[in-house]
Amino acid sequence: MASLMAFIVKLLRLLVAFLLLGAIGAGIAWHYFQSWLDVPLFLPPNGYHVELKSGQSLGHVATQMATEGVLDYPHLLKLYARLQSAHKIHAGEYFFAVGTTPRQLLAKLVRGDVVLYQVTLLEGWTYAQVLDALSKESHLEHKLREKTPEEQKRLLGINESHLEGWFFPDTYSFSRNSTDIGLLKQAHQKMRDFLEQEWAGRAENLPYKTPYEALIMASIVERETGHHSERDQIAGVFVRRLQRGMKLQTDPTVIYGMGDAYQGRIFRKHLQQPTPYNTYVINGLPPTPIALPSAASIKAALHPAAGNALYFVAKGDGTSEFSASLEQHNAAVRRYQLKRRSDYRSAPPPVLLESATP
C-alpha cells in the first residue's frame, strides 16, 4: 500500500511538472506571438500596394503577401484575426508604408482604410468637360462613356431635362474601381442640397420662379465674372434687366449655344443667330444652365447687389466698369474695348472666356 501511494505521488509530481513546462512553453509562445505582431513587415523602401478584390478573404491577402516575401507567418496573421473576432475585412486597394506591423496591417484591413484618389470638378466647366475629365481618371470605372444623354440621366437617377449645371464643383475622393456614376451622384446631391439651402434663404423680390432658374442665373454669373469680388454686382445687373423686361445680352450664353462652332471669338453675326441660348435674341433666361456654378455664384444669384447699374464691360485688368445708362456704357466700351492694350484681359489669368455685356 505504501509503495502504491508513493507511485501516485511521483505520478502527480510528473504531471505537475509537465503542466508547468507546458504553461511555461505556452507563455513563451504567447510572448513571441505578441512580439511578432509588432515587428515591422518586410516592405520595400517605397511601401507596398495590395488589392483585395470583392469576395476575397484575409487568407488571400496573407498568402499573397507571404508569396511576395513581405509577411513571414501568414497563419499567425489569420490566428490573430480569429482572436480579435475580425471576421470581415473590406475589399479595395491598400498601401502599407515602411514600418507597418502585422497588428497595424489587420487594423487597416478591418477599417477599410483603402487608398483614395482625387478628382476636381472646376467651377465654370460644362458637363462635357466634366465627363472628359472623369474619362481621364484611370482608377475610375467608366460607365457613362458612349451613353446617350437620356441613358446618362437614367443611370445617374436625375429627373431633369438637361444635366448641365447640376454637379457641385469641388474635389472628390474615390477608391479604385469606384464608378463615374457614383462620383457624379455625390456631386449632384451636393448641388441639390446647397441650392435648396440657399433658395430657402434667398433675398426678396427676385425674378426667379424656381430654384432651377436661380441655378441658370448662377451659371451665367459664373461665366461672366472676371473678378470674384464682382459676382453679386454682375448678378445685380442681370436681375435688374430681367425685372425691367430687358434682354440679358450676355456673350457666354451665345458661346454655349454655338457649341463646337465656337472657335475662340464671336462676331456680330453670331449675336444675330437665333438659338435657345442667344440672350441677344431671346427674352429672359436660357433654357438650362451653361456651366457648373460655384457656391459663390449661387449665393450671388440669390443675393444680388443693390444698385442701378444695367450694363458692365470688362476693363482689361480683370475687373468691370458698371454703368446705369446706355450712354455711360457706350463710353466705357469705347474706353476699354475699342482701344485694347496688348495686355488686355477680361479676367485674371488664365482666361477662359472674353466677357463683355453690351
Q: Model confidence over 198-224: pLDDT tens digits? A: 999 999 999 999 999 999 999 999 999
Confidence (pLDDT) at 2: 58
pLDDT tens track for 77-125: 898 888 888 778 888 899 999 999 999 999 999 999 999 999 999 999 9
pLDDT of residue 29: 56
Among the candidates 82, 114, 146, a domain finishes at: 114
What DSSP string describes 249-299?
Answer: --HHHHHHHHGGG--S---HHHHHS--TT-TTTSSS--SS-SS---HHHHH
- Rg (alpha carbons) of the chain, rounded to whole number: 33
Is the pLDDT confidence value at 342 over 70?
Answer: no
Q: Which of 54, 84, 114 is the last residue of a domain?
A: 114
Q: Which three cell numbers stand for residue 181?
A: 456614376
Q: Report the CATH number that the domain containing residue 100 is assigned in CATH.
A: 3.30.1490.480
**In a shared domain, residues 121 and 110:** no
State whether 254 and 135 are in the same domain.
no
Q: Is 155 helix (H, G, I), strand (E, B) or coil?
A: helix
How many structural domains compose the chain? 3
Q: Where are the beta strands (DSSP E) in the chain?
A: 48-52, 92-96, 116-120, 140-141, 171-175, 178-179, 311-314, 320-323, 356-357
Q: Which of 119, 219, 221, 225 is nearest to 164 (CA)?
A: 219
Q: Name the CA dihedral angle for 127, 133, 136, 139, rounded to a multiple of 10 degrees.
A: -90
23 vs 207, residue with greater confidence = 207
Q: Which one has a higher pLDDT value, 315 or 28?
A: 315
Among residues 350, 312, 318, 348, the alpha carbon closest in space to that of 332 is found at 312
Give me the helices (H) in 114-148, please.
127-135
In this structure, are 215 and 351 located in the same domain? Answer: yes
Query: How many Å apart are CA 98 and CA 113, to the nearest integer?
Result: 16
179 with 266, same domain: the answer is: no
* 327 belongs to a structural domain: yes
Q: Is there a domain that residue 7 lies in?
A: no
Q: Is residue 10 part of a domain?
A: no
Q: What does the chain come to in residues?
A: 358
pLDDT of residue 338: 63
Strands 311-314 and 356-357 turn out to be antiparallel
322 near 309, Cβ under 8 Å? yes
CA distances from 157 to 154, 160, 186, 216 (A): 5, 9, 11, 20
Residue 101 exposure: Cα atoms within 13 Å on the Cβ side? 10
The pLDDT of residue 187 is 98
Q: Which grid cell sits at 101? A: 506591423
pLDDT at residue 17 greater than cutoff 70 = no
> Domain for residue 333, yes or no?
yes
- pTM above threshold 0.85: no
pLDDT at 356: 36
Indicate if 99 and 133 belong to the same structural domain. no
Q: Is 129 helix (H, G, I), strand (E, B) or coil?
A: helix
Q: What is the largest CA-CA distance in the chain?
A: 131
> What is the pLDDT at residue 18?
53
Is pLDDT larger for residue 290 or for residue 16? 290
Burial class (CB in 10 A: 0-12, 13-18, 19+), 192: middle
The reply to whether 6 falls in a domain is no
Domain presence at residue 13: no
Q: Give the burial class of 146: count Cβ atoms within 10 A of its Cβ; 0-12 exposed, 13-18 middle, 19 or more buried.
A: exposed
Q: Does residue 24 carry a pLDDT above 60?
A: no
Residue 118 and residue 172 in contact, taking contact as beta carbons nearer than 8 Å: yes
Average pLDDT value over all residues in the chain: 86
pLDDT at 80: 86
For residue 183, the model assigns a pLDDT of: 97
Clarify whether residues 274 and 246 are in a common domain.
yes
The residue from 114, 141, 166 where one domain ends is 114
One domain, residues 235 and 350: yes
Judge if 159 and 300 occupy the same domain: no
Specify the pLDDT at position 306: 94
Return the exposure string of 295-307: e unless at least 16 CB atoms fall within 10 Å of the residue's CB, then b: bbbbbbbbbbbee
pLDDT band at 262 (very low <50, low <70, confident <90, very high): confident
234 and 158 within one domain: no
- Clarify whether residues 185 and 286 are in a common domain: no
Same-domain status, 109 and 121: no
Please tell me which residue, 281 or 317, carries the higher pLDDT value. Answer: 281
The number of helix segments (H) and strand segments (E) in the chain equals: 13, 9
Does some domain include residue 20?
A: no
335 with 230, same domain: the answer is yes
What per-residue confidence (pLDDT) applies to 344? 39
Contact 313, 320 (CB under 8 A): yes
Question: 83: domain range?
Answer: 46-114
On whether residue 100 sits in a domain, the answer given is yes
By C-alpha distance, which of 31, 28, 35, 29 is closest to 103?
35
Contact 226, 252 (CB under 8 A): no
Determine the pLDDT at residue 281.
94
